[in-house]
Amino acid sequence: MVCEGLTLLNLITDPWIPVKCKEGSRVIAPWQIAESDVLFPDWPRPDFNVACLELLIGLVYMATPPSDKKDWKARKKPDPEGLKTALEAYAPAFCLMGDGPRFLQDYDKLDGAPNPVDMLFIDSAGGQTMRKNLDLMVHRHRYKRLTLPEAAMALYTLQDFAPAGGAGNRTSMRGGGPLVTILDPGNTLWDLVWLNVPFGQPWMMRDLPWMRPTRTSEKGKGSVRPNDGKGQGKPACSFTVEAFFGMPRRLRLVGDEQGITGVIQRPYGTNYEGWVHPLSPYYQPKSKSSGKQQLGEMPLPRHPRAGRFGYRNWLGVLIAGKPSREDEEGLEHRALILQEWDGMDRPTGKQVSVIVAGWAMSNMSPLDFVFSRQPMQICSAEAVRRVKRFIEAAEMVASMLHQALAPLVDKGEARDAQREEFYLKTEPAFYEHFRDIAEGGNPAEAWLGEMRAQALSQFDALAKPGLSERGMKEMKAIAEARKFLSIALHGHGKKIGALLFQKLGLPVPTTKAQKKGQAA
């Protein structure tokens, strides 16, 4: 099988991906990620760079994945010519244009007037948004034409992260704007890609969704689930290569050798159900009957919230949270690739970073593109439990501060901003303690002291200016709030202070009355 007609760009054989190199930058074909000077994708948009990483990981998973841990270690050394040979077998399936099957585009030619190429970008305004002049955080009429590489990357990004798009326009198999977690060892692009390729066996071209009639989702047609994984080294109802090459949108690009000028779209692309993407975290939804999270329910993908991703967001994403037992992922599942990394027999304390990224969406509207690098180390089971307790203790202190600020700051965004400041200011100390914990330490007293100092400092910064000019009733309320915050942070109070110390594994301080009772 070969590409028919004017192909213009083949995404396997042609150089089209801009990358940063050890010296400067250049444009490469996918197989060249195994060259020793290539460091990272260099698209002008962060969502393109993250999607490009997923594309490259998907290509290697499709053509030459490691079969198991032993194979992964044996083939860790980059082999550009070997990768080139493996990928070239799939070249006929990766034509961007032409009369035959087109990369990530509807199997059949679509009739109708093309939309502007703006529609390929998640932060572009849709038709209804423009008609109502609601495009404050999105953009209209930015591009009249895209180069072929730009169009290819925009097409992949949209299909990979597809948000809600109106009646019949399906979201990605991870829902709109999924949260992505990618391990980065901090070396070359090949090292990053190889570290994130799931175990399996090479796939066939017919496993790619655009190489067969499009599985549409009009009324009466069912959703598409992954196969049972037989022969691929994966459990039933998990994922296939289509996880990296989903087609929720029915699209056909319009253009010529000068570039892409339009996109024809039809509703009711593939409706995915029951997929677990290996690069995203999931959680068990609450049961409709009990209202509680339950194992056995179909897991749902996590989505980023607008704003900065920090240690407060680790549980269930980088550290397993809310387990059904102390040693299980349980009700909140980190990405499968993070779980595999934990089991790769690497020395405890080995550190990488994790790229955490994704579009924060409000239905069809993009709010923010989150991109963060978080430190991660392989930890013992006890260290993981300790990190959890440190994060949960911070949540307790942040809640104490939030409540104590009631006489000073109205409830809502202003007070929520103080909570965010608490996490931001304590973040450097947390990361330092995380490294200490991973190496066997227990800096609980230091962490408590830093949280206490930050919470009281924030309170005082709001309370002291103009305090003498306030009314007596207001001054009394502020003084009492400060007193109760300090008491709780020192382990006293009816409940919460003692719970904070217990959470950190510290002895609960005794009051003078308790000491007298003990002495008697």
Q: Tens digit of pLDDT for each residue in 378-390? A: 888 899 999 999 9
Residue 132: the pLDDT is: 45
> Per-residue b/e over 500-519, b at no fewer than 16 CB within 10 Å?
bbebbebeeeeeeeeeeeee
| Cα 70 versus chain centre, distance | 28
User: What letter does residue 266 receive in the DSSP assignment?
Assistant: E
Q: Is the pLDDT of residue 520 over 90?
A: no
What's the whole-model pTM score?
Answer: 0.90
Q: Tens digit of pLDDT for each residue in 393-423? A: 999 999 999 999 999 998 888 999 999 999 9
Residue 42's φ and ψ, nearest 5 degrees, are -135, 45
d(CA 158, CA 74): 35
Q: What is the CA radius of gyration of the chain?
A: 26
Residue 51's φ and ψ, nearest 5 degrees, are -65, -35
Residue 471: the pLDDT is: 87
Q: 315 and 332 in contact (C-beta within 8 Å)?
A: yes
Alpha helices in 35-79 (DSSP H): 46-63, 69-74
pLDDT confidence bin for 164, thresholds 50/70/90: confident
Residue 516: the pLDDT is: 58
Residue 206's contacts (CB-CB under 8 Å, 6 or more residues apart) are 212
Q: Tens digit of pLDDT for each residue in 261-300? A: 999 999 999 999 989 999 999 988 876 665 565 655 678 9
Average of per-residue pLDDT across 467-479: 89
Strand 282-283 and strand 250-256: the pairing is unpaired
How many Cβ atoms from other residues are within 10 Å of residue 469's Cβ? 8
Q: Is the pLDDT of residue 86 over 70?
A: yes
The burial class, CB within 10 Å (0-12 / 13-18 / 19+), for 466 is: exposed
Q: Is the pLDDT of residue 137 over 90?
A: no
Average pLDDT, the chain: 87
Q: Is the pLDDT of residue 139 over 70?
A: no
Closest CA to 184 of 441, 440, 373, 394: 373
Q: Tens digit of pLDDT for each residue in 323-342? A: 444 444 557 889 999 988 87
Residue 327: the pLDDT is: 42
State how far the alpha carbon of 434 is from the alpha carbons of 100, 171, 219, 399, 447, in Å.
53, 36, 51, 22, 10
What single letter denotes the amino acid at residue 87?
A: L
Q: Is the pLDDT of residue 140 over 70?
A: no
| Domain ranges for the chain | 382-520
Q: 104 and 159 in contact (C-beta within 8 Å)?
A: yes
Q: Measured between alpha carbons, how far apart are the two ends of the chain, in Å?
A: 92
Closest CA to 478 of 461, 463, 495, 462: 463
Q: 69 and 198 in contact (C-beta within 8 Å)?
A: no
Residue for token digits 């996490």? 423
Q: Tens digit of pLDDT for each residue in 214-229? A: 999 988 788 898 874 4
